[in-house]
Amino acid sequence: MLEESTIQRVLAAAASRGADFAEIFAEEKRSSSALLDDGRIEELTSGRDRGAGIRVVVGESTGFAHTSDLSEAGLIAAAETAASAARGSGTGTTIVDLDRVNAQRPNLVRIMPGDVPKAKKVELLLMANEMARAEGAAITQVSARYADSHRRILVANTDGTLGTDEQVKTLFSISAVASGDTGMQTGRESIGRTVGFELFDTYEVGDLARTAAQRAITKLAARPAPSGEMTVVIGPGGGGVMFHEACGHGLEADLVGKGASVFAGRLGEQVASSLVTLVDDGTMGGEWGCFAIDDEGRPAQRNVLIQDGILVDYMWDGLRARAEGRASSGNGRRQSYQHLPMVRMTNTYLLGGTSTPDQILSDTESGVYISHLGGGQVNTATGDFVFGMTEAYLIEGGRITEPLREGNLIGNGPGVLTSIDAVGNDFAMGGPGTCGKDGQGVPVGDGVPTLRVASGLTIGGTAA
């Protein structure tokens, strides 16, 4: 996107007032989406955004400016603004010897979504609508969404880093509403991968539609969720968001440094059951949170955070790593060129164990089985969280029995980690997610095998 000679001159302008560090982040992003609701295509959009953000660090002060003008003059003006905001002083010329980052892309794209006619994307939505409604007359509403994006980035800084990456993402989601004597119930399903339109060679939209519709229909006969503390079994894939929120954010170095994490100062301590190994991995090919380099130019990494229950590391971006005299873990991410990078998760997951799902269930006399968790909230300073249960069932006599209506799952992150007493051998990643933090959203993935939390979780249902 930028000539190397231009990069050199912009970095020199950014560092001209005695900066300790200066960085250019350039981005071009193309996206398209289509929305179906009530059998009609309600929205068909496409867009393009391009620009650059320039960061200058002087001591503990950071200046940041962004511009959509990628000419040399526009970039230098932004660099001078960022340098002034960082309150740098002094003059001089900075020459940076740039070394290209050789980071292997974690996946190959076979069919660029931008090359696929819009009509073909609309066909997928119409097919999903038809398939969902074919599951029964109880299905009264269907909405579906297709989206794709193609993001190109360039990162260069005064440490000598020069890196580029291309990230292509394709997503399809569907929601079905079933109506009956007990009111209306909703079922959802989505698939999103960091791949091209070949996504639909692997996943059939008809299967997604049928799954969403059957979830909604099943809930029509569901009983109210119970209330109180009980044993909880979480199914593969769909419960990963709990670990993302309940302990993942608490392992981000910026929150740790602010004292806003319950895991601050606990490196080397036992913070979880010995069955728990928690990993954050930006190299997982095709997953929603994968990339070749992060938004600071560092190669993506596989980072073990908790090993056999012991806290072994946090996640780091470049700024916090510099302050600690260590290397970044490849977790510096930003929503766009208009935002500063911060420590963010990528694909966060719990490694599989040795138990079979059947063993875990048969050893559970009573409790709740959760297939999918929805959105929630967490207090990173205490670890307390609340999540919605979007698909759950009773466990009675070691078997899954009746479906439950939606309720809440309430607990404490560190408490859950120490109460895991069984981990299955059926690891799976969940659906695509967008992680929000300090007003920014980035794509992330999460996953778990079947696991059992013996105590410390409360079901907030409506049953008497």
pLDDT in tens, 112-145: 999 999 999 999 999 999 999 999 999 999 999 9
pLDDT of residue 104: 84
Query: Within 13 Å and on the Cβ side, how many CA atoms surround 10?
Result: 35
Contacts of 316 (CB under 8 A, 6+ apart): 253, 324, 326, 327, 328, 329, 331, 343
Tell me what the mean pLDDT of segment 434-442 comes to. 95
Query: How do residues 165-207 score in pLDDT, each as one tens digit?
Result: 999 999 999 999 999 988 899 999 999 999 999 999 999 999 9
Tell me what the mean pLDDT of segment 240-250 comes to. 89
Place of tokens 């056999």: 308
* Contact (Cβ atoms closer than 8 angstroms) between residue 454 and residue 234: no
pLDDT of residue 60: 87
pLDDT of residue 95: 53
CATH number of the 4-31+45-100 domain: 3.30.2290.10
Asked if the model's pLDDT at residue 451 lies above 60, the reply is yes
Asked if the model's pLDDT at residue 93 lies above 70, the reply is no
Query: How do residues 364-384 score in pLDDT, each as one tens digit?
Result: 999 999 999 987 888 988 999
Give the Cα separation of 48 and 30 in Å (integer): 4
Length of the chain: 464
pLDDT of residue 446: 96
SS3 category, 29: strand
Domain ranges (residues) in the chain: 4-31+45-100, 113-154+164-220, 227-460
pLDDT of residue 91: 47
Query: How do residues 286-313 score in pLDDT, each as one tens digit?
Result: 999 999 999 999 999 999 999 999 999 9
The pLDDT-based confidence of 101 (bands split at 50, 70, 90) is confident
* Contact (Cβ atoms closer than 8 angstroms) between residue 31 and residue 4: no
pLDDT of residue 96: 58
The pLDDT-based confidence of 7 (bands split at 50, 70, 90) is very high
Name the CA dihedral angle for 198, 103, 330, 152, rounded to a multiple of 10 degrees. Answer: -50
The pLDDT-based confidence of 242 (bands split at 50, 70, 90) is confident
pLDDT of residue 269: 98
The CATH fold of domain 113-154+164-220: PmbA/TldD fold (3.30.2290)
pLDDT of residue 375: 79
Tell me what the mean pLDDT of segment 79-83 comes to. 93
pLDDT of residue 146: 98
The encoded tokens of residue 251 equal 């392992």
Give the Cα separation of 146 and 349 in Å (integer): 26
CATH topology match: 4-31+45-100 vs 113-154+164-220:
yes
Count CB-CB contacts under 10 A for residue 272: 24
* Contact (Cβ atoms closer than 8 angstroms) between residue 346 and residue 332: no
Across the chain, mean pLDDT equals 94
**Residue 331 phi, psi dihedral angles, 5° rounding:** -115, 20
pLDDT of residue 8: 95
The pLDDT-based confidence of 76 (bands split at 50, 70, 90) is very high
pLDDT of residue 436: 93
Asked if the model's pLDDT at residue 94 lies above 70, the reply is no
SS3 category, 245: helix
Give the end-to-end CA distance of the chain in Å, rounded to a whole number.
62
